[in-house]
Amino acid sequence: MITIKNLHASIEGKAILKGLNLTVNAGEVHAIMGPNGAGKSTLASILAGREEYEITAGEIDFDGKDLLDLSVEERAREGLFLAFQYPVEIPGVSNVNFLRTAINEIREHKGETAMSAKEFMALVRDKSALVELDSKLASRSVNEGFSGGEKKRNEIFQMAMLNPKLAILDETDSGLDIDALRIVANGVNELKTDQNATIIITHYQRLLDYIIPDFVHVLYDGRIVKTAGKELALELEEKGYDWIKENKVN
Amino acid sequence: MGTSTKATLQSFRSNLSAAKLALPSVLTAKNEGDLSVMEFPTSKHEAWKYTRLNRVAKIELESNVASPINWEDFNMVKDAYTFVFQNTTCIYISSDLPEGISIKIGNEIGSADWLSSINESHVAKLNVAHAQNGCVINIAKGVQVDKPIQIIYITDGPKQPNFWRNQLQLDAGAKAEVHIGYFSKDAIDAYSNVHWSVFLKENSHLIMTKIQNDGEANFHFSTENIHQLKDSNFTLNTMTLNGAFVRNDLLVKVEGENCETHLNGAYVMKGNQHVDNHTTIDHIFPNCNSYELYKGVMGDKSTAVFNGKVFVRPDAQKINAFQSNANVLLSDDATINSKPELEIYADDVKCSHGSTTGQLDLEAVFYLRSRGISEIDARSMVVAAFMHDVLSKVASNDIKSYIYQQLAVRFNLHLQRED
Ligand SMILES: Nc1ncnc2c1ncn2[C@@H]1O[C@H](COP(=O)(O)OP(=O)(O)OP(=O)(O)O)[C@@H](O)[C@H]1O
Ligand SMILES: [Mg+2]
């Protein structure tokens, strides 16, 4: 699904990613953990197409396409989705209206016909129920006045609406209460098929109790320095990152 | 006029006909004398500091013979009492006016029909000197007009000068909605100068909406002198959608207690367009509220001026006056000069003003694009969201649809209906 090779990226002359390699196949769930400032959100932003970063080396293949060649919207239309760590508020743009535009632009891109209003409303009902997002929130301005947890839930609602091939969840679990965490995790699990893949960026093992990852990676200082199965998350929870930092030196 | 000759107010006037409307001597007595010694104001004049008139002064105006048109091409409201002016001619009058609305047009208006309302600007004086046509509308006591009144002004032909002078009076307890549209056809370097005197008697209620959608190479000057008596409620929506150069001078005199005044303005500009909104609300009596919201989006090399004066006279206690002007600059070359001027001489008042200018929220644009929306649509959605509150103040759904449609055509701005 996605192959990242030797990715180097910097911002304002400061190197953040320093030779990152990662391969995610269809049907897989990958967790990326790592200390604050390691570059996790940077990786997510670069995948989504944020233009502030300078890619100094490396390549990213997304389902046979050169991802770095695609515009932000083309990536989304090809099936990439980022649930933001800090979703923006956009007063005056209604959640459902913008999603309808998005879905139809994606469909147009794929040469499909536009979704009817009826079909769309049914989808909204369905998917807002999946993440237990109040239908009033679904039709309000994007994230305006939403609580932290509601914003995160809205990200997963959008993911459910857009049904991406590759979803990247950047700390979607932070700020969620226990119930919301289960609901969000349940939503992600429901959406999982052998055709799509998920990258979960998180600091906490807790989420991974609900969404079982196939691989856990440690991103440290701009590189994936360790990859293992789900037991690695438990080990990190227990021991922190210091032992990995020490390992990394050699 | 040779190139070596300096364009002056006198040379500008040389091809203009004298007023055809019969105006009262209180307006005309000093007017010609004043104009003969006047010049176009320069940037040294406070009220014209950021609005240069050289381009206007240089136009050599000439009247055109208007060709027949279908006024419905300019229609904004489905069901209205409509009057249409094409240059100096009134080409359409609704035949089904109900009891309680009287309208006089052109030479039907006698000099005694004009109520006293003086404005000292060169624009207003030119209007007095050259007023060719216009209307005087009276809404009788207690009458609530069942449909909107729509007045359409069409400037037809290059370098066409149009001077329209109008008056609207709502008698006590009357209620009306008036939509005014300024358009043009086959016109470049045309100049229109329109004057409205508006009188709201006790407890009357008026919503006035101006749609300024003149051609991209035309010059438009609009002056409104508003007089509000006690318990009246007045709204003026100034929607500037097109025009090379648009100047609005609004003067609201609140001459009674318990009045409400709403001034809303939206301007969306591109290219080299220039829009200047000068507003004054003069609170003379106590216990009144005024609300002013102007929002603008400026692209390319366009320029905008907002100058909002609020006076609160010494005896005008318990006034609430709110003013806000917010702007989004879409390009580094666009500029806005925004200046609130509060002059408060009473002590028990609540006044606030705010002026903001910013770039488009690029984080929001990125967010929308990351969901699959094209950059152009994402930008348009964010701009539309910014304009949303001021446009939603336009009460008429027909007018709102018209504005949204114009913004879609000219700016690829797609606004979403909430009704
Ligand atoms: N616009 C920027 N200008 C300068 N430095 C930046 C910028 N954006 C990110 N950085 C730096 O890049 C590094 C990586 O940041 P990033 O947000 O990717 O970390 P993270 O792994 O997501 O951390 P966290 O766990 O705290 O979310 C940090 O040191 C951060 O300060
Ligand atoms: Mg982060």
Q: Dihedral through CA A37, CA A41, CA A47, CA A51, nearest 10?
A: -80
The answer to whether B35 and B126 have CB atoms below 8 angstroms apart is: yes
Whether the pLDDT of residue B397 is over 80: the answer is: yes
Q: What is the pLDDT of residue A205?
A: 85
- Confidence band, pLDDT 50/70/90 cuts, at residue B5: low
Sign of CA dihedral A121, A126, A131, A132: positive
Q: What is the pLDDT of residue A134?
A: 83
* Residue A198 exposure: Cα atoms within 13 Å on the Cβ side: 28
Q: Choosing among A89, A90, A99, A170, which should be mutated to test the B contact, i.e. which has the most B CBs within 10 A?
A: A90
Residue B22 in contact with partner chain A when CB distance is under 8 A: no
Write down all domains in chain A, each with its CATH number in brackets: 2-249 (3.40.50.300)
| Domains in chain B: boundaries | 2-255, 364-419
Verdict on whether the full-model pTM lies above 0.90: no
- Counting DSSP H helices and E strands in chain A, the numbers are 10, 12
* A143 vs B101: CA distance, rounded Å: 48
- Please name the member of A76, A105, A141 whose beta carbon is closest to the beta carbon of B370: A76
Using a CB-CB cut-off of 8 Å, the residues of chain A touching B385 are 90-93, 141
**Ligand 1 centre from A33 Cα, in Å?**
14
Do A102 and B389 make contact, defined as CB atoms within 8 angstroms? no
Do B371 and A102 make contact, defined as CB atoms within 8 angstroms? yes
The answer to whether B223 and B205 have CB atoms below 8 angstroms apart is: no
Whether the pLDDT of residue B366 is over 90: the answer is: yes
* Burial class for B144, CB neighbours closer than 10 Å (0-12, 13-18, 19+): exposed
Amino acid, res. A234:
L
- Confidence band, pLDDT 50/70/90 cuts, at residue A244: confident
pLDDT, one tens digit per residue, over B147-195 is 999 999 999 999 999 999 999 999 999 999 999 999 999 999 999 999 9
Sign of CA dihedral B120, B124, B130, B133: negative
pLDDT, one tens digit per residue, over A126-184 is 999 988 888 788 888 899 999 888 899 999 999 999 999 999 999 998 888 888 899 88
Bigger pLDDT: B139 vs A137: B139
The verdict on ipTM greater than 0.90 is yes
> In 3-state terms, what secondary structure has residue B258?
coil
Bigger pLDDT: B4 vs A132: A132
The answer to whether B263 and B250 have CB atoms below 8 angstroms apart is: yes
> For the packed helices A95-109 and B375-391, what is the interaxial angle rounded to 10 degrees?
160
Q: What is the pLDDT of residue B269?
A: 92
The answer to whether B314 and B286 have CB atoms below 8 angstroms apart is: no
Q: What is the pLDDT of residue A247?
A: 64
Distance from the Cα of residue B23 to its chain's centroid: 22
Q: What is the pLDDT of residue A246?
A: 65
Whether the pLDDT of residue A24 is over 60: the answer is: yes
Using a CB-CB cut-off of 8 Å, the residues of chain A touching B362 are none
Residue with the smallest CA separation from ligand 1 atom 1 is A11
Whether the pLDDT of residue A231 is over 80: the answer is: yes
Please tell me the distance in Å from B416's CA to the nearest CA on chain A: 8
Do A72 and B384 make contact, defined as CB atoms within 8 angstroms? no
| β-strands A141-142, A90-94 pairing | antiparallel
